[in-house]
Amino acid sequence: MTAHALKAHGSKTHGSESVGLMSAVVLVCVAMIGCAASPSARYAQAVAGYRIALSGIATAAEAGLLDQDETDTIEAVRVPVKLTLDRVGGSLRSGEAVPPTDLEQLADLVRALETTLRAAETDAAESRTEASP
């Protein structure tokens, strides 16, 4: 099935499902980063949360709930999270101390991802409302 067909199939009819899905994804990310104490533990939890977020976004895309504009918006905030995870992971692996600011920046970036996903949800819900007779 092409992307266009997927979008026509689901994008404007299943907006409410995407709302619940993405909110759950991001809540998990934020909660997981906050509940570990050591830098490496926080890193591992951030990675796990990020992996869950990726899975949720891909699932929403496969269900036809995302279009390219929404994907671009999400990507603009997802990539900095990934780059920060790579940087922190590299520092931990080489035995370098991870500055607390890096972990705080990671939390800030995840919160930005949360805001973006919620905005995408709102757009999908509004599109669904407008499409209704």
Partner 1 sequence: MTIVDLIALLRFSLEASSQIAGLIDRYRGNPEAELTPDEIDAVRGSLAMAEAEYHARMAAAGLVTQRDDGEGEKAHGSESVGLGGEPA
Between the alpha carbon of residue 99 and those of residues 33, 36, 39, 113, the distances in Å are 15, 16, 9, 22
Tokens coding 50? 């990020």
If one asks whether residue 126 binds partner 1 (CB under 8 A), the answer comes out as no
Token pair listed for 57: 């976004």
Residue 99 is a binding residue for partner 1 (CB under 8 A) = no
Residue of the chain from 23, 30, 73, 89 that contacts partner 1 (CB under 8 A): 89
Question: Collapsing DSSP states into helix, strand and coil, what is residue 48?
Answer: helix
Residue numbers 26-85 binding partner 1 by CB under 8 A:
28, 32, 35-41, 43-45, 47-48, 50-52, 54-59, 61-64, 66, 68, 71-72, 75, 78-79, 82-83, 85
Q: Are 11 and 64 in contact (CB under 8 A)?
A: yes
Longest dimension (CA), the chain: 60
What is the contact surface with partner 1 in residues (CB under 8 A)?
2-4, 6, 10, 14, 17, 21, 24-25, 28, 32, 35-41, 43-45, 47-48, 50-52, 54-59, 61-64, 66, 68, 71-72, 75, 78-79, 82-83, 85-86, 89, 92-93
